[in-house]
Amino acid sequence: MPDIPWSTPTRPAPGAEVYVMASRFETASLTGALRFFLKSPGIIRQMRNAPGAHGFALRARVLRRTFLTLSAWKDRDALYRFAGSEPHRSSSRAAAAYMKESGFVFWTVPASELPIDWAEAERRLAEQARKQEKAKGPDTDTDTDTDTDTEPERG
């Protein structure tokens, strides 16, 4: 599957502020990457119909075992309702078994700034990963989960 470009299921209200999430997943094996990849179409269908979803995109680097997602939501609750419903809920739980690393970053922007570009999402993900590595210190294993769930920053 090629990358999924930015898609807008529902347009936000003019002047609204939206809640943005970028994520990075790296699987431990190519088999895990294929499993993740095969679950993607169902999640994409779910996104297209999710209440409060204002946009999403996917970058799939299957042979590198890496996937990036980018989405914009009416608010945090809309994102969490999506994440807690099927098929995302069971797919994310199953993915834990074959995931090497995952990272998440959240922020808010005016709706007029949609779509968010990949450069901004990747910059924020890299910055978050650096913060996590720094917080771990020099004597810790660097091959551990980098999940973050911080409150959004503005702009």
Q: What is the pLDDT of residue 146?
A: 42
Structure token digits, residue 20: 């943005």
Q: What is the DSSP letter of 74?
A: S
Q: From edge to edge, which strands make up the β-sheet containing 4-7?
A: 4-7, 53-61, 66-73, 17-27, 99-110, 153-154
Q: Length of the chain in residues, anyone?
A: 155
Cα–Cα distance measured from residue 87 to residue 71, given in angstroms and rounded to the nearest whole number: 17
Q: What is the pLDDT of residue 140?
A: 52
Q: What is the pLDDT of residue 155?
A: 53
pTM of the prediction? 0.85
**What residues in the chain have per-residue pLDDT under 50?**
142-150, 152
- b/e map of 90-106 (b: 16 or more CB within 10 Å)? ebbeebeebbbbbbbbb
**Which of 127, 118, 126, 89 lies closest to 3, judged by CA?**
118
Q: What is the pLDDT of residue 11?
A: 96
Q: What is the pLDDT of residue 95?
A: 93
